[in-house]
Amino acid sequence: MEEKNKKAQEAEAPEKEDSSASSSEVLDAELEASPQVESEETETSDDETPSSMELDAASESGKGPLKTRPIRGLPFFRGRFARDKKSKKIRRRRVKKKRRKERKAPTNFKQELFTVPNILTYIRIGMLPLILVIVNQDSRQFSFWAAIIFAFAAFTDLFDGYFARKLNQVTILGKLLDPLADKLIVSGILIILVPMGRVASWLVIVLLAREFAITGLRGIAASEGMVIAASPLAKFKTIYQMLALFCLLLHFPYRIDYFGMFELLLNFHRIGIFFLYLALCLSLASGFDYFWKFGVAINRKYASSTTPGSANA
């Protein structure tokens, strides 16, 4: 019996060796084929994973991250989650920055307040009380300094218009303040010169009445949607008026010695009165021109609005 068992074991041993050999061959074949499968899977995963450019474009457009098919592998999901979280943070930061800018952005009125032409207009308006206080002292020295300050204010009137056109800073506030500053300075100086005996009261009344009438006329024209062009006579009127006020502020006579060759005595009060009469004549002529243009514009407007059918009726 023992011999039979030994023979049976010896017969089964080659079969086990053959089976082990065949199984080892199968394992070797599977190992050789497995890298190809893994490489194909990695290639497909690389093709299917979205690029960073696509994720950024999707996050910026607000549509959220791109939807892709799930791929096996925990590291991919970790990277995807990190990118999504980063894109959300970036979007939140952009929204916060936008809100801060909107809060800090000044309104149009705030921007108009601090433009260069408007700042010059503020300076010109602020000079008026200083001129009135100085000229009220009624002395040669104070009158001289009042005239110098007035000349500086007149030059700021020229420069604010230049800077408004040069810097493209023509604002609604500037359109209001610029003529208002001119009228305040002219009317204030003319009124204070009346009790000092330097200007006749009727001249001041006529000049101020013309200014108020033209201001009201422009307001009515603006309400009717019309724009009345400035008359060239008004520009010359402004020039002569400024020269008259400068000379009337100096008031006192000054002797000019030209290197001993000749002496010239200038009575600035008389020169100022002469320029003021010229300004008065041009002021009345330009006022008549304004009213004439306004009447013509009103007639054209109502003539175009009326139809033949309504006229017959």
For 109-118, write each residue's pLDDT tens digit. 677 778 888 8
Domain assignments of the chain as residue spans, ordered by start:
47-105, 107-171, 198-305
For 189-198, write each residue's pLDDT tens digit. 999 999 988 9
Residues of the chain with pLDDT > 70, as a percent, come to: 66
Centre a 10 Å sphere on the Cβ of residue 262 and count the other Cβ atoms it contains. 8
For 61-110, write each residue's pLDDT tens digit. 544 544 444 444 445 445 555 566 667 778 788 887 777 665 544 456 67
Q: What is the pTM of this model?
A: 0.60
Q: For residue 46, what pLDDT band results from cuts at 50, 70 and 90?
A: very low
Among the ranges given (126-130, 177-181, 228-232), the one the predictor scored with the smallest mean pLDDT: 228-232
What dihedral angle (degrees, nearest 10) is formed by the CA atoms of 99, 104, 105, 107?
Answer: 120
Distances (CA, A) of 202 to 194, 209, 269: 10, 10, 17
Structure token digits, residue 241: 């008026």
Mean of the per-residue pLDDT values of the chain:
74
Residues of the chain with pLDDT > 90, as a percent, come to: 23
